[in-house]
Structure 1
Amino acid sequence: MALPTSVKLFEMAPRDGLQNEPGNSVPTATKIALVERLANAGITHIEAASFVSPKWVPQMGDAAEVMAGIKRQPGVVYSALTPNLKGLENALTVGVEEVAVFGAASEAFSQKNINCSIAESLTRFEPVLDRARDVGVRVRGYVSCVLGCPYEGEIAPHKVAEVAKALYEMGCYEVSLGDTIGVGTPLSAKRMIEAVQQQVPIEFLAAHFHDTYGMALANLYAVMEEGVSVIDTATAGLGGCPYAKGASGNVATEDVLYLLEGLGIETGIDLQAVIDTGYWITSELGRKPSAKVALAKGPSR
């Protein structure tokens, strides 16, 4: 199949990128500024916060303040993770227009991450989807560990397809397939997508690949060849997974943009503005971007 002519990037840095920072060390104002800078760079889908218990993810304890504080731009979707009904209700009070729920393709990871089986997690999501439908809020679904699990090892593609199908049939408008620990290769990524698209049409699928083994860009190219045209990225390569030892950050927005530009694929995003944003947020966090393209090009002078 030919590569897509345009690709939608779904920016993860404000939520998936920052959630593992210690305690509540990132000021609310910094999170708001990050979201606004990303929108100014032309990114139209930004996961800005997570309405989870601050006991489990203290860095996301100011989700309501972040969502309320963003100066919203027309045409930009600011979404939030809401794993349960309480999270959804909290998100609705500050005008969140899109939310996300997350399951896993691995039983062991589901137990470690959200303390229940895959089947139980899907049952828990039903009231969230029902309530979201009632108030006209779209729901995105995530599937973790689609190419491997830190506890179970390889994950069979049909397992991923089953969870993705359940989320899609429940009403998720898009299902994001996450290589949470970044162990996938182009062939395993293709085989996984081939299995999933037998259950969920390809236009409703997104790729969320981590770069632990340096394979994320190759894997993204492989699934774009299969027709995937939505990619989850994080500026500066921020993020990881607290339940997956050794899992490095999401694939960097800067590196994906450089790849897409080189392929002539439209995104509508200003690469240099993203690079500058990556340098700014990592300086706030006391480190350097891990995006190869950012390190090669450098910030604007």
Structure 2
Amino acid sequence: MTARDLGLPTRVPAPDLPDRVTIWEVGARDGLQNEDTVVPVEVKLEFLDRLADAGLTTLEATSFVHPKWVPQLADAEELLTGLRRRDGVRYPVLVPNERGLDRALAAGVTHVAIFASATETFANRNLNRTLDSQLTMFEPVVTRAVRAGLEVRGYVSMCFGDPWEGSVDPAAVVSVGRRLLDMGCTQLSLGDTIGVATAGHVSALLTAFADAGTPVDRLAVHFHDTYGQALTNTLAALRHGVTTVDSSAGGLGGCPYAESATGNLATEDLVWLLDGLGVETGVDLDKLADTSAWMAEKLGRPSPSRVVRALLG
């Protein structure tokens, strides 16, 4: 008998958790951006289509970063032209600057995201900017996007630890995050870019945002599983009332500018946890696992997701 024959985990609802969680699926963008071999656009389109079939309703599709920096996403316009959009499914794209926003607007995008750093060193390495000047760069991007009727998400990277600066003070993260919200971002995604967060640190950061007057429904979490803490950290965030969690189908991804960053939290592992806790996601785990196994085959290696491996053998 395989794990798949056993079905989904036994549901034992917990009283201190949300009834439903929105999964912000980043596999097609964050998951693939680090791949050395360029994935054909038709494979990416089928990947997105399969993810939508599995019930995921937020699919971060691509990024309008310059192809020199992330060659994998050089086909952004072609992908969006060929995308079969579904009713009830959002397809956000990452925009690094005003030029990226121009391209997104020309492509008819309705949801965009910007990517800021909570630390000085990573702002310099990732954006060639200081901590303050990165925010100066983003302000006209957010202002124009909001005026055009787009929703804007603000990613904040290095929220828990930085490979050059060490542990990150929650107050520094709150400062950057509040400035993004004041610009007009509708949501912040708090990123554990190198996967060093622990549950206590997650709790401390979310408490710091609450103390600064930030409603918890404006916050999302984005964990990497470098030290195997992503699910534990997710549970800590859920207990603080967070209802949007980023993850990547099959556990694909990392960060091209932080060598110690390993894969994202696998969407299948997240769904297994949430199913067992009685938290609704709307995701068909079998379809999702099949999709991740299919993509792993396209990439020529096994899926890092423990749940995919358990279900499919």
From 280, 290, 296, the equivalent of 2:304 is 290
Distance 1:198 1:208 in 2: 21
Is 1:119 the counterpart of 2:143? The answer is no
Gaps of 5+ in 1: none
Amino acid at match of 2:193: T
Which residue pairs with 1:268 in the alignment?
A: 282
Amino acid at match of 2:104: A
Which residue pairs with 1:93 in the alignment?
A: 106
- Deviation, 1:135, is 1.3
Aligned counterparts, 1:62-101, within 5 A: 62-101=75-114
- Deviation, 1:211, is 0.3
Which residue pairs with 2:23 in the alignment?
A: 9
Amino acid at match of 2:112: V
Which residue pairs with 2:268 in the alignment?
A: 254
Distance 1:222 1:286 in 2: 34
Aligned partners of 2:20 and 2:279 also within 8 Å:
yes
Distance 2:153 2:211 in 1: 19
Aligned partners of 2:30 and 2:254 also within 8 Å:
yes
Question: CA offsets, 1:186-221, max 9 Å, x none?
Answer: 111111111122332101100000000000000000
Is 1:179 the counterpart of 2:192? The answer is yes
Gaps of 5+ in 2: 1-14
From 135, 138, 146, the equivalent of 2:159 is 146
Which residue pairs with 1:192 in the alignment?
A: 205
Q: Give the secondary structure class of the aligned counterpart of 1:77.
A: coil
Aligned partners of 2:223 and 2:230 also within 8 Å:
yes
From 221, 229, 232, the equivalent of 1:207 is 221
Q: Give the secondary structure class of the aligned counterpart of 1:143.
A: strand
- Deviation, 1:246, is 2.5
**TM-score w.r.t. length of structure 1:** 0.97
Q: Give the secondary structure class of the aligned counterpart of 1:102.
A: strand
Amino acid at match of 2:50: R
Q: Give the secondary structure class of the aligned counterpart of 2:113.
A: strand
RMSD of Structure 2 on Structure 1 (CA): 1.1
Is 1:216 the counterpart of 2:225? The answer is no
Distance 1:160 1:254 in 2: 29
Q: Give the secondary structure class of the aligned counterpart of 1:129.
A: helix
Q: Give the secondary structure class of the aligned counterpart of 1:208.
A: strand
Which residue pairs with 2:145 in the alignment?
A: 132
Aligned partners of 2:163 and 2:260 also within 8 Å:
no
Amino acid at match of 2:254: G
Which residue pairs with 2:248 in the alignment?
A: 234
Distance 1:94 1:105 in 2: 30
- Deviation, 1:78, is 0.3
- Deviation, 1:68, is 1.2
Aligned partners of 2:112 and 2:150 also within 8 Å:
yes
Question: CA offsets, 1:255-295, max 9 Å, x none?
Answer: 00000000000111111111011001111011111111111
Distance 1:185 1:130 in 2: 35
Aligned counterparts, 1:28-39, within 5 A: 28-39=41-52
Question: CA offsets, 1:140-175, max 9 Å, x none?
Answer: 000001010011010000001111111111111110
**TM-score w.r.t. length of structure 2:** 0.93
Larger deviation, residues 137-146 vs 125-134:
125-134
- Aligned-residue sequence identity (percent) comes to 48
Distance 2:210 2:136 in 1: 23
